[in-house]
Structure formats: structure tokens, C-alpha cells
Amino acid sequence: NTQVLLAARPQGWVTESDFRIVETDIPSPNDGEILVKNTWLSLDPYMRGRMSDRKSYAKPVDVGAVMIGGTVGEVIESKNPAFAKGDLVVGTLGWQEYAVTDGRAVRKVDPSLPHSVYLGTVGMPGVTAWLGLIDFGTPKAGETVVVSAASGAVGSVVGQLAKSRGCRAVGIAGGAEKCAYVTRELGFDACVDYKDPSFEKALAEATPNGVDVYFENVGGPVLDAVLPRLNAFARIPLCGLIADYNAIEPYAVKHFGALLTNRVRLQGFIVSEHLDRWPTALAELSQLVREGKLVYRETVAHGLREAPRAFIGLLKGQNLGKQVVKLA
Ligand code: NDP
């Protein structure tokens, strides 16, 4: 049973030496428990926060403990009447090949969709996009919705949902290749490359009527470029600030005053605190995926030993779409 443990709390950028890979015995389930063989592991930016002991909404992973992570897997032994051998389950069983759980950490999912989708578009990131956009962004047809990290797991869903609500969807992403994917495959109206020197001019051209909803995933200079484009009574679902996650000092926002002058409603949110909305979100997301109306891509790493490198790559933007690990 290969496991990846947190070896050290990173200072600044994560390095591979912050992880330790170990081999342990496969655990056996007691009464009421199931043994799951994980087949897919999700890699997500929030894991950077759990490696640190800074004040946050969730407690950190202990040094020496298995890294936290979303998983899809198969029940291979069940001593819990709610599960049968062969059930496909999604849950948070961590960076390991096998895990025993009492069943509360997992839920059964329909095996007819590609299994890894439950870690992305029809999973936590998809629900994050849905909740942030629909509940906190409250988009209306004809409005302009801008989303940062637009080619990623969350951002790719935000723009497609915005289109489904009759909005103009504008993405912000790093590089021409990601921007081409966002407009050509995901169907956004425009995508602007924040690494290009003419970013601010291109953003203004892509948002001729200003910005009504800014779904924020990154923070940093990208946020400062969007703030002056906001319309009166704009909404900002504040989902993530990945530009700060490996920074020693957080980015100092320059155009904070735009929130006041435009009477903006900014709402930070954590998807796991809105469990009541998950069934509605997942029902729409899975339906759209089945109908081919919600498309996605994945970047796949192979084997748990590749997970630390793939995670660092995710934080640096080397992924296109959802970053997952296929387990042996
Ligand atoms: P992504 O698949 O979007 O991957 C992260 C992307 O962030 C990278 O590909 C990179 O894309 C971009 N990025 C990295 N560094 C920077 C930077 N300095 N400036 C601008 N962009 C950067 O990840 P997710 O979709 O899983 O997550 C997106 C955001 O949503 C994260 O901030 C995450 O923490 C947050 N989140 C919040 C949740 C909540 O409950 N609030 C739940 C889930 C996710 P590029 O090449 O375009 O720069």
C-alpha cells in the first residue's frame, strides 16, 4: 500500500522533499467498515493550505500523516451493509492506494460516467463553480462574467455555466495555448492571456460592457487588472487566491476602492460548508456532461510516486484542465 505523507511544512514554494513516500500493509476493515482500492486521486490547490499551519478554515495535515485528497475507488471488501464489493465510491481517502473507512467519508457514484469526472466537473471543483457562480455571482442573461484560471477545473465549468445562463463568458488564463482551449473547446466568448504584456488592454477589449460578475480564483495582479473594469453592483464570488498560496507575503491589492465606488458584493466561500447545495449542483453538472453540453479535459499523472511533482506542476500552471493521478 503506497502512501504519500507530509514530511515537512513548506516555506514558500512546495518541493518534492516536503513529501515522503512509504509502503505499508493493506489495512483490513472491522465491522461497519469497508476497504477501498483507490483508482484516481485528485490534486487540488487547497492542499497547499493544508500543508501549512497558518490560520485557516480547516486544520492542517499533521507532519507525518497521509496527505489529504479526494479519491475515486472501488470497494474490495465490505463489512458495512450500505456498501457491496464492487461499488464505485468517491470520497476523501487521501494520497494512498488503499484505505479503510466507516463509509461516512465516501458516497456511491454511477460507474457509467468516466470515473475521474467525479474528482472534477461532476465533483468538488464542479460544485465549487456552480455554487460560486449561481448562488454568489447571481448572473443574469446579457451580463458579462469574467473568470480567472479559466482553463482549470473550476474555471472551465464557470464559463460554460455562464454561457448556459445567457451571459458573455470571458476567461483569463496563462498563455496562448490555454486561451485557445478556453474559446475553441470550452466555448467562452473570449479569453485573455494574463502573461501577455498587453493583458490590460486585451481585457478591456474583451469586456466592452464592463464586468458584472468576477469569479476570482487567483488574486494578485490579475485581480488588480479586473477591479477597474467592474460595473456598478457587480458581484465577486471569491473562490481562491492561488497567486498567494506559495508567497511569503500576500499580494497587496491596489484597486480596493473599486469595491466601494461600484457598490460591489464580494463573497468568500468554502464549498464544503454548503452541503445542502451539492445535490442540486451535481444533478445539473452530471446531466450536462451526459448531454455533451459541459466539456472538460484532464492532465493525468501516473502512479502515486508522480503525485508530488504533479501537485507542484498544478501550482505552477502546468496542468490543462483538471489535474488527476491514475493509481496503479
Ligand atoms: P486549476 O485547475 O485552475 O489549476 C490552478 C491554476 O491556477 C493553474 O493551472 C494556473 O493556470 C493558475 N495559476 C497558478 N498560479 C497563478 C498565478 N500566480 N496567477 C494566476 N493564475 C495562476 O485549479 P482548480 O480549478 O482546482 O482551483 C482554482 C481555484 O479555486 C484555486 O484558487 C482553488 O484554491 C480554488 N478553489 C476553492 C474552493 C472553495 O471552496 N473556495 C474549492 C475548490 C477550488 P494558468 O496557467 O492560467 O496560470
Taking only the tens place, the pLDDT of each residue in 269-307 is: 999 999 999 999 999 999 999 999 999 999 999 999 999
**H helices within the chain, ranges in order?**
46-50, 124-130, 153-164, 176-184, 199-206, 220-226, 242-245, 257-261, 278-290, 307-315
pLDDT band at 328 (very low <50, low <70, confident <90, very high): confident
Between the CA of 96 and the centroid of ligand 1 the distance, in Å, is 24
Taking only the tens place, the pLDDT of each residue in 62-88 is: 999 999 999 999 999 999 999 999 999
DSSP string, 111-124: TTS-GGGGGTTTSH
Q: What is the mean pLDDT of residues 306-319?
A: 98
- Ligand 1: does its nearest atom lie under 6 Å from the Cβ of 234? no
Residue 12: φ, ψ to 5° = 75, -135
Rounded Cα distance between 298 and 198, Å, is 29
Of 150, 174, 173, 178, nearest to 162 by C-alpha is 150
Q: What is the mean pLDDT of residues 221-231?
A: 98
Q: For the chain, give the percent of residues with pLDDT over 70.
A: 100
- Ligand 1: does its nearest atom lie under 6 Å from the Cβ of 139? no
pTM of the model: 0.98
pLDDT band at 105 (very low <50, low <70, confident <90, very high): confident
Exposed, middle or buried, 278 (CB in 10 Å: 0-12/13-18/19+)?
A: middle
DSSP string, 263-325: T-EEEE--GGG-GGGHHHHHHHHHHHHHTT-S---EEEEESGGGHHHHHHHHHTT--SSEEEE
pLDDT band at 35 (very low <50, low <70, confident <90, very high): very high
Between the CA of 316 and the centroid of ligand 1 the distance, in Å, is 9
Taking only the tens place, the pLDDT of each residue in 172-201 is: 999 999 999 999 999 999 999 999 999 999
C-alpha cell at 176: 496562448
The protein residue whose alpha carbon is closest to atom 4 in ligand 1 is 152
Residue 71: φ, ψ to 5° = -140, 155
Of 157, 98, 102, nearest to 133 by C-alpha is 157
By residue count, the chain amounts to 328
The protein residue whose alpha carbon is closest to atom 15 in ligand 1 is 243
- Ligand 1: does its nearest atom lie under 6 Å from the Cβ of 131? no
- Ligand 1: does its nearest atom lie under 6 Å from the Cβ of 211? no
C-alpha cell at 241: 487566491
Domains of the chain: 2-120+297-326 (3.90.180.10), 124-272 (3.40.50.720)
Yes or no: say if 158 and 132 are a contact pair by the CB < 8 Å rule.
yes
Between the CA of 152 and the centroid of ligand 1 the distance, in Å, is 7
ipTM: 0.99
